[in-house]
Copies of this chain bind each other. A is one copy, B any other.
Amino acid sequence: MVVVEKIQEMKEIVKRLKKEGKSVGFVPTMGYLHEGHLSLVRFSKQQNDITVMSIFVNPIQFGPNEDYDRYPRDFERDKRLAEKEGVDYIFNPSVKEMYPEDFKTVVSVKKITEIMCGKSRPGHFDGVATVVLKLFNIVNPDRAYFGQKDAQQLAVIKQMVKDLNLDVEIIPCPIVREQDGLAMSSRNVYLSEEERKSATVLYRALNLAKEMIEKGEKDVSTIKKAMEEMILKEKYTEIDYIEFVNNETFEIISKVEGKVLIALAVFIGKARLIDNIVVEAK
């Protein structure tokens, strides 16, 4: 496994690999790897000759009062895990390498970013779209792997790729969960032991919604209310949002129909956690 820090070097490596006819899979991450990330690597290794993982905590996708500074980092541990999983290249640029002082460009995907995390975190998805486009241009992958946990991010990336006529294939990968259902996240490390217990309520609330829909409930506000009650019964919880959207268009719905994405963001203490589930109404 090779660690690459410079953009130009990464570009030249990929150019050489492409000339040799190799296919390149790409797993963009902010590091502090968990099973979710490693599952993306496994998908990539199945489908490509070479797997490139980026590890870059992207400052421009964090708001001024968010957790950029305290976001967990452990590059040595990440390196061990990535190598064990068979990653071929880690791209690990500095902030200055990615955003030199005179950096001025922003990529925005409109409309689908006006709700959910985009509403709670203004500018977040501009930062995501901009860095992912840069990474795509640097790594030039045939396929890129994103976890379904960040469902809105996935929708933004897919829309950007389509709108900007990029050639990369976006592969959504299923959410990886702890035994008790908590979605894997680097931010789970923020949780105290007590908070960790409360955190299971995100997935439980999503399952409650699923069950209600399976029993025939169609009214979103009824389901939301039941979810809210369940979540607020737990200690340390504060709901950021619970949203029901059409899984294709990302438009907010009030009546359950077809494939519905149910997504939520809940603060457990200071940790803001997200989760989601796709339910198909009969």
A residues contacting B by CB (< 8 A) are 7, 11, 102-112, 129, 133-134, 137-138, 159-160, 163-167, 249
Copies in the complex: 2
A166 to B164, CA, bound (A): 13
Which chain B residues border A102 with CB–CB below 8 Å? 159, 249
A274 to B190, CA, bound (A): 56
Which chain B residues border A107 with CB–CB below 8 Å? 105-108, 164
A166 to B105, CA, bound (A): 12
Set B7, B103, B108, B166: member contacting A106, Cβ < 8 A:
B108
Which chain B residues border A134 with CB–CB below 8 Å? 163-165
Is the Cβ of B105 less than 8 Å from the Cβ of A108?
yes
24 residue pairs A–B, Cβ–Cβ below 8 Å: A11-B165, A11-B167, A103-B163, A104-B109, A104-B112, A104-B159, A104-B163, A105-B107, A105-B108, A105-B159, A105-B163, A105-B164, A106-B107, A106-B108, A106-B110, A107-B108, A107-B164, A108-B108, A133-B164, A134-B163, A134-B164, A137-B164, A137-B165, A137-B166
Is the Cβ of A165 less than 8 Å from the Cβ of B7?
yes
A110 to B107, CA, bound (A): 11
Set B105, B109, B165: member contacting A138, Cβ < 8 A:
B165
Which chain B residues border A110 with CB–CB below 8 Å? 104-106
Which chain B residues border A111 with CB–CB below 8 Å? 104
A137 (CB) vs chain B CBs: closest residue: B165
A103 to B110, CA, bound (A): 9
A111 (CB) vs chain B CBs: closest residue: B104
Minimum Cβ distance to chain B for residue A71 (Å): 23
A103 (CB) vs chain B CBs: closest residue: B163
Which chain B residues border A249 with CB–CB below 8 Å? 102
A106 to B159, CA, bound (A): 11
A129 (CB) vs chain B CBs: closest residue: B105
A139 (CB) vs chain B CBs: closest residue: B165
A134 to B249, CA, bound (A): 22
Minimum Cβ distance to chain B for residue A153 (Å): 15
Which chain B residues border A160 with CB–CB below 8 Å? 105
A82 to B129, CA, bound (A): 37
A105 to B110, CA, bound (A): 6
Taking A103-B163, A107-B108 as known contacts, 4 extra A-B pairs with beta carbons closer than 8 A to each other, sorted by chain A number, are A104-B111, A105-B109, A107-B164, A137-B165
